[in-house]
Copies of this chain bind each other. A is one copy, B any other.
Amino acid sequence: MHRHSCHHPPAGVGGVTISRARIIAVGDELLEGRTVDTNSGCVQRALAGAGIPVVGVEVVPDDSDAIGLALSRTVTGELVVLTGGLGSTPDDLTREAVATWAGVDLAEDSTLRRRMTERWQRRGVSRRAGVERQCQVPAGCEAVENPVGSAPGLVGRLAERTVVLLPGVPAEMESLLPLVVALLRGKDLLPEVGPQRLWRTAQVAELALVERCAAVRSAHPDLHWSWWLTEWGCDVRLAMNAGGDESVFDQAAADVDEALGRVAYSRGDETLPAAVQRLLLAAGRTLSVAESCTGGLIAARLTDTPGASACFSGGVVSYADRIKVEYLDVPAEVLESHGAVSEEVATAMAAGCRRRLATDYALAVSGISGPDGGTADKPVGTTWVALATPTVVFARRYRFTADRPRNRLLTVAAALDSLRRLLETDDSISPWYPGDTWSRLR
């Protein structure tokens, strides 16, 4: 796999600037195959944005010795982020294990105690057993109040490392993370960060993206390039060390913009459904969807983002053929003669959905996600995506080669990205891709 890491050298502020981090994820549940450790990825992203690469993650059980051993393997000067084990039950041991490892005492933080007591009073609950432990702080650490839960974050300088303790509940961890980064920034512990840019794409192979950027890369050998595979595409990230000539970076970013052209659905963190929502809102247009093989997944993704109701009217999951006929006005004889997975049916679904649900655009998909249902003519993965506009219906045939869940996800991406491309090109009636078919609406 083609990948270039992005290195941010320490900016040299007094020699105490953090230059790298290590994560220790604590929890029996992370070792039993039931809970996936998504916290480490959040911490990695937050620290990458702050210019600090994570060089390792260790997952350990709720066990003082295992936590201590992992701490002893960290290196002087590193930022050590521990997640999990800050609750109030006896198997939450992280606070104590850190104090033991660092050789410092745990003591009650009176400010924290007062805030917690106020919190209980606001919620009308009496003091709960075990919560006293959450007021205990290792000497040398300060507490960061948790906006959404009881366990505070803890930040301190221990054993020549900068140590951060965060609760394991993802929502609590995510709320505390920016507060902790701001606190480290305020203490001048983070390096200066140079400019960064992100482009997100779907429907393009990683190698094709690398090729598109080849000329810009040769012209700018000092910039840092990263290629990240996402659930349905690939992201390109460009970064420059702090202190470089930002006009050079801006020129390079402009050149990447041009090289990627319509391929990038987002020039930032925006997701593909959010990009579609933004474009529809800006154009004052509405969308509906008619789904067979994706079974509601396109609609589900479109409504992941709050505010979808302003441009997304709804859809029809036409899993059974009779629903294609009755709800989407697909002629029964077209279904009969061409089969459900065909250009004719996908086109009729899109046109029918647009008319019946009275929206400006309609997306329709019909395909064979697998593992069964394939034939010699129409192997598993064969999928038609159609897009009805106020004047035209476009259709495109795909042949995905992954398993059922991934074929469905790639279909969602193909449908949303097709509409995104159309909306970004002023609603022209030119086909999206060379070789696409299109027909005027009746």
Contacts and interface: CB of A to CB of B under 8 A. Distances in A.
B313 A303 contact: no
A59 B56 contact: yes
A99 interface: no
A5 interface: yes
Interface string A1-41: 11101000000000000000000000011111111111011
Contacts of A2: 89
A424 interface: no
A402 B230 CA distance: 26
Contact of A33 (B48, B87, B314, B372): B48
Interface in A309-358: 309, 312-320, 322-323, 327, 357-358
Nearest to A406: B171
A29 B315 contact: no
B56 A32 contact: no
Nearest to A37: B37
Contact of A34 (B235, B295, B404): B235
A237 to B, nearest CB: 9
Contacts of A190: none
Contacts of A313: 319-320, 322-323
A56 B60 contact: yes
Contact of A295 (B54, B300, B358, B402): B300
Interface in A372-409: 372, 402-405
A58 B56 contact: yes
A315 to B, nearest CB: 4
B1 A91 contact: yes
B319 A309 contact: yes
Interface in A247-278: none
A66 interface: yes
Oligomer copy total:
2
Contacts of A303: 294-296, 317, 319
A323 B296 CA distance: 16
B323 A295 contact: no
A25 to B, nearest CB: 8
Contacts of A33: 41-46, 48, 54
Interface in A55-103: 55-61, 66, 73, 87, 89, 91
Contacts of A302: 295
A3 B319 contact: no
B44 A57 contact: no
Contacts of A299: 291, 295-296, 300, 317, 319
Given A296-B296, A296-B300, A302-B295, A36 B34 contact: no
Given A171-B403, A295-B308, A309-B320, A31 B3 contact: no
B291 A296 contact: yes
Interface string A199-232: 0000000000000000000000000001011100
Contacts of A29: 1, 3, 228-229
28 contacts: A1-B87, A2-B89, A3-B28, A3-B91, A31-B56, A31-B57, A32-B48, A33-B44, A33-B45, A33-B46, A33-B54, A34-B41, A34-B45, A55-B61, A55-B66, A171-B402, A291-B296, A295-B304, A297-B300, A306-B371, A306-B404, A308-B319, A312-B319, A313-B319, A314-B318, A315-B317, A315-B319, A323-B357
What are the 9 tightest A-B residue pairs by CB atom distance, in nearest-first order?
A: A295-B303, A296-B299, A296-B296, A33-B44, A33-B45, A57-B59, A296-B300, A314-B319, A313-B320
Given A1-B29, A33-B43, A304-B404, 18 more contacts: A2-B89, A3-B28, A3-B91, A29-B228, A31-B56, A32-B48, A32-B54, A32-B226, A36-B37, A36-B41, A40-B59, A57-B58, A294-B303, A295-B296, A299-B317, A313-B319, A314-B323, A316-B316
Interface of A: 1-3, 5, 28-38, 40-46, 48, 53-61, 66, 73, 87, 89, 91, 171, 226, 228-230, 235, 289, 291, 294-300, 302-304, 306-309, 312-320, 322-323, 327, 357-358, 370-372, 402-405
